[in-house]
Amino acid sequence: MFDAQRQHPVAALANAFDIIKANFITILILIFVGSGGKQGDYTLYWIFGTFIALLIWGGISWLRFRFSVNEGELKIEQGVFVHKKLYLTSDRIQVIDITAGVIQRVFGLVAVEVKTAGSSSKEAKINAISRKEAEKLKKLLRQGSEQQTATVSGEEKANKTYTLDNRDLVIAATTSGRMGVALSVVGAVFSQLDQVVSDEQILRFIETHLPNFTSFSIVAISVVGMVLAAWVLSFVSTIITYYDFEVEVREDDLHISKGLFERKQLTIPFNRIQAVQVKEGILRQPFGYAALVIESAGYGEDQGNSSTLFPLISKQRLRTFIDEVIPEYHVPVDKRVQISKKGLRRYLLRMVWLSLIIIAVVWSMVPYGVYSWLILPLMLLLGYQQYRDAEVKSGEDTIILSWRLLKKTTAIIKKYRVQAVEIKQNPFQTRLDLSDLIVHVASGNQGRSFKVRELLEKQAATYKHWLSNGNNELQQPLETDSYEEDSPSAIE
Amino acid sequence: MRTSPEHKLSKSAIKAWRLSTAIACLFFILVPLFFWIYNTFSPNEMGFSTWVIVSISVVLLIVSGLIIFFLPEIRWQHWYYQVDEHEVDLQSGIFIITRTLIPVKRVQHVDTRQGPILRSYGLADVTISTAATTHRIPALDEETADIVRDRISKFARLAKEDV
C-alpha cells in the first residue's frame, strides 16, 4: 500500500519548468517584443519576476498534489484553483513511463507518467519522486493485471535491443530534415537583430571588414549564413532528441528510450501499431539511409501518435530490421501500380504554379530576387521525381503507398487497419481520368491519412474496392484485436 | 469509376439548405451596414459615398440570391450514398468529386442529428464515425435517417460477430 503523500519538493521546480517548456515559444516572442521598447532595462526584472511567480505556482501545486495507491487503484488529487481527483484502476493502465528530465536528474529523481487508452493522459503525471518509490509504485500498479506475469517471463528471455551508435547519430543529425523549423527560428532571430545592433554599426562593420564586397555578395552571404545557422540548430536538436537511442523488442511491446538531457521512454504494444512509414529525406536518400516511423492508436502522445521507431537505418539493414522487429510488415508484393504518363503532366504543372508563386513573392520583395528563377528547374526536377516515386503496391493483406513531397515516404498499411478510403477528383483530373487515392488509419485522436496523387481512375477504384471489401479474407483472426481498439480491456 | 451510389438525398433537403444558406447570407448585410455606420459616425469628409454603399448592397443581394437559389440544388444533384453489408459508399462535391468508402466493420458509432431548420422540414443528418474519421450523410428524411442509422449499426454489429 501507498499512503497518501506528496511528491518530492523538487516537483515545485519541475512544475515551473514544465510550464516554461510548454510555452517556450510564446515566452521567447514576448521577450523579443517586450525588449523592443525604450525600457529594455526592465526585461531582466520581468523574466526574474515571472520565474518567481511560476515557482510560487509550482509550489502551490506541489502542496495540492497528493497521490496514493489503494488496492491497485491509483488516486491523484491535484489542482490549484479547481480541485481534481483522478482514479485509475490498474487494469485500465496501459503504460507506465518513468522518465528523467534535467531537473529530476540533478536531484536523482524520476517522473512517472501513467497512461490509459483514453485521452487526458497528461493529468496522471507525478513529477518528482525517488526512483525507489517509482519502482514500488510501478510494481503495485502492475500487480493487479496479468500483464505483469507476461512481461516478467518476457524479460527473462534475452530481449533483442537495437541501438543507434554514435557514428549513425552524427549522420542522422547531419542529414536531418529539421531545417524548416530551424530556419523559421533563425529567421525570427535575424529579424530582431536590428534591435540589438543598429544599422550604422552594421554599415561600419561592413565598411571596415568587408570593403570589397558588393551588396549582392552580402545578400548571398546572409542567405548562406542563415541556412548554416539553421543547419547547426537542426544538428544540435537531433543529437539532443536521439542521443543514446535504443529499441527493445519485448514479447508484446516495443520499448523505445532516447534523449540526451531528458530521457524519454515509450512503450508501444504491437497490437496498437496501425501503420509503418519509411521516410527517406532528400539529404539521406543519396547515402541510402531512411528513418522508420510508426503510427499507433490509443497511446497518449502529442502530434497524432507518430513515434520514431528508428531514426536512421541503411536501406540494406532496413529489411532485416523490419523482419526481426515487426515481421508482419514484411510482405511480398504481387501487384504494383505506378503513375501514368498523363499523371506526369499534372505533377509538373503543379510545380510550375508553385514556383511561379514563390518567384513572384521573392522577386518583388528581395533584392536580387531575379535569381529566384533558378528554383524553377529545381522544382521541375522535384516534380519529376515525385512522379517517379509515387506508386501503390499491394500483396496479401497489405497495401504500400509511396509518395514524395520533399522526402520520400513509404507507408505500409495492413488492410484490416484501414478506417476509410477516399477518392478525390477535381475537374482537371476528371478530364484526364485521374484521381487521388487517400487511405485513413487510426492514430491518436484524429487519425492520419496517406495520399497518392494522380492515379488512373480505374486503378484507384480497384484499390478502393479491394481495401474496403475485406470479408472474403483469410486474416480474420487478426481482425478481432483490431476491433477492440477502443475498449481498454482488450489488453491481455 | 464504378457507377455512382444509388440513393439520393431527400428532395426537401434543397429547401432546408436554401433556408440555412439564406441565414448564412444575412452576414453579407453586415458589410454595407458597416459602411453605413462608419458614415454616420465619422467626420463628414471621410465617409463613403451613398453610391458605393448602394452598389455594394445591390451586388451582394444579387450574389446571395444566386447562391441561395442555385447552390443547394446543385449540391443536392451531386450527392449520392449507399449502404450495404460491406461498406458505406458516399459521393459528393461539385468541382472536386470525393468518393468515400467506409468498411462497415470499421464503424465505431452512428448518430443522427437534427438542427432546428432540419427539424422543421422533417430531415436529419446521419453521422458515421470510425476510429480515424467522421463522415456525414446530410439531410435525409427522418424515417430514412433512422433506417440508415439502424442498418449501418446492424451491419457493423453483424460484421463484428462474424469474426
The predicted pLDDT at position A196 comes to 63
The confidence band for A254, taking pLDDT boundaries of 50, 70 and 90, is confident
**CB-based contacts of A379, cutoff 8 Å, min separation 6:** A351, A352, A354, A355
Q: State the Cα–Cα distance between residues A403 and B106, nearest whole angstrom.
A: 26
**Domain span including residue A201:** 168-242
Asked whether residue B102 is assigned to any structural domain, the reply reads yes
- Based on the fold, state whether residues A59 and A140 are members of the same structural domain: yes
What 3-state class would DSSP assign to A483?
A: helix
Nearest to A476 among B87, B99, B163 (CB): B163
Interval A106-141: pLDDT, tens: 888 888 877 765 544 455 788 888 888 888 887 777
- Based on the fold, state whether residues B111 and B53 are members of the same structural domain: no
Asked whether residue B154 is assigned to any structural domain, the reply reads yes
- One-letter amino acid at A334 equals D
**CB atoms B133 and A430 under 8 Å:** no
Count other C-beta atoms under 10 Å from residue A286's C-beta. Answer: 10
Interval A285-321: pLDDT, tens: 888 899 999 887 654 444 456 788 888 888 888 888 8
User: What's the total number of domains in chain A?
Assistant: 4
The predicted pLDDT at position A388 comes to 92
Beta strands across the sheet bearing A391-395: A306-314, A289-296, A273-280, A408-414, A398-404, A391-395, A335-338
Asked whether residue B5 is assigned to any structural domain, the reply reads no
Asked whether residue A154 is assigned to any structural domain, the reply reads no
**Which of A110, A145, A180 is a domain's end point?**
A145
Asked whether residue B137 is assigned to any structural domain, the reply reads yes
- Based on the fold, state whether residues A461 and A320 are members of the same structural domain: yes
Instruction: Give the distance between the most distant pair of CA atoms in chain B.
Output: 78
Residues of A in contact with B87 (CB under 8 A): 468-469
By DSSP bridging, strand A398-404 and strand A408-414 are antiparallel
Q: State the Cα–Cα distance between residues A162 and A41, nearest whole angstrom.
A: 51
- Based on the fold, state whether residues A250 and A320 are members of the same structural domain: yes
- Based on the fold, state whether residues A263 and A395 are members of the same structural domain: yes
- One-letter amino acid at A221 equals I
**Domain span including residue B137:** 80-162
Closest CA to A330 of A278, A281, A406, A408: A278
- Based on the fold, state whether residues A278 and A397 are members of the same structural domain: yes
Asked whether residue B54 is assigned to any structural domain, the reply reads yes
Asked whether residue A454 is assigned to any structural domain, the reply reads yes
Closest CA to A293 of A450, A423, A437: A450
- Tell me which of B159 and A176 has the higher pLDDT: A176
Residue A179 pLDDT exceeds 60 = yes
What 3-state class would DSSP assign to A91?
A: helix
H-type alpha helices, A298-442: 315-325, 341-365, 375-389, 427-432
The predicted pLDDT at position A390 comes to 93
- Based on the fold, state whether residues B66 and B85 are members of the same structural domain: no
Closest CA to B56 of B23, B26, B25, B33: B33
E strands, A164-251, are 246-249
Asked whether residue A160 is assigned to any structural domain, the reply reads no
The answer to whether the beta carbons of residues A261 and A236 sit under 8 Å apart is no
- Based on the fold, state whether residues B146 and B98 are members of the same structural domain: yes
- Do you know the residue count of chain A? 492
CATH classification at residue B148? 2.30.29.30
- Based on the fold, state whether residues B98 and B155 are members of the same structural domain: yes
Asked whether residue B7 is assigned to any structural domain, the reply reads no
What 3-state class would DSSP assign to B94?
A: coil
Closest CA to B15 of B146, B128, B141, B144: B141
Interval A330-386: pLDDT, tens: 888 878 888 988 899 999 999 999 999 988 888 887 777 788 888 899 999 999 999
**Which of A180, A215, A242 is a domain's end point?**
A242
Interval B74-93: pLDDT, tens: 999 999 999 988 888 999 98
Asked whether residue B6 is assigned to any structural domain, the reply reads no
The confidence band for A471, taking pLDDT boundaries of 50, 70 and 90, is very low
**Which of B52, B75, B98 is a domain's end point?**
B75
**Cα dihedral angle (A220, A226, A231, A234), rounded to 10 degrees?**
-160
The answer to whether the beta carbons of residues A273 and A189 sit under 8 Å apart is no
**Which of B55, B75, B95 is a domain's end point?**
B75
Nearest to A440 among B132, B160, B163 (CB): B132
Asked whether residue A155 is assigned to any structural domain, the reply reads no
- Based on the fold, state whether residues A232 and A280 are members of the same structural domain: no
H-type alpha helices, B42-141: 50-77, 116-120
Count other C-beta atoms under 10 Å from residue B161's C-beta. Answer: 7
The C-alpha of A232 sits at a distance from chain B's nearest C-alpha, in angstroms, of: 37
- Based on the fold, state whether residues B43 and B104 are members of the same structural domain: no
- Do you know the residue count of chain B? 163
Asked whether residue A183 is assigned to any structural domain, the reply reads yes
Q: State the Cα–Cα distance between residues B118 and A263, nearest whole angstrom.
A: 54
- Based on the fold, state whether residues B35 and B105 are members of the same structural domain: no
The C-alpha of A333 sits at a distance from chain B's nearest C-alpha, in angstroms, of: 23
The predicted pLDDT at position A490 comes to 27
- Based on the fold, state whether residues B97 and B32 are members of the same structural domain: no
Taking the alpha carbons of B6, B80, B123, B134 in that order, is the dihedral positive or negative? Answer: positive
- Based on the fold, state whether residues B133 and B63 are members of the same structural domain: no
- Nearest chain A residue to B86 by CA distance is A469
- Based on the fold, state whether residues B157 and B96 are members of the same structural domain: yes
H-type alpha helices, chain B: 13-25, 30-41, 50-77, 116-120, 142-162
H-type alpha helices, A255-326: 315-325
To the nearest whole number, what is the mean pLDDT of chain B? 85
- Based on the fold, state whether residues A195 and A135 are members of the same structural domain: no
- Based on the fold, state whether residues A305 and A443 are members of the same structural domain: yes
The predicted pLDDT at position A94 comes to 66
Residues of B in contact with A420 (CB under 8 A): 100-103, 106, 130, 132-133, 135
Our CA angle for A23, A26, A27, nearest 5°, is 85
- Based on the fold, state whether residues A406 and A463 are members of the same structural domain: yes
User: What's the total number of domains in chain B?
Assistant: 2
Nearest to A443 among B95, B132, B160 (CB): B132
H/E run at residue A51: helix A43-64
Residues of A in contact with B100 (CB under 8 A): 420-423
To which residue does cell 463484428 refer?
Answer: B160
- Based on the fold, state whether residues B134 and B148 are members of the same structural domain: yes
Asked whether residue B1 is assigned to any structural domain, the reply reads no
- One-letter amino acid at A16 equals A
Residues of B in contact with A446 (CB under 8 A): 132
ipTM for the complex?
Answer: 0.70
Closest CA to A5 of A55, A50, A70: A70
- Based on the fold, state whether residues A450 and A398 are members of the same structural domain: yes
**A445 touching B, CB under 8 A?**
no
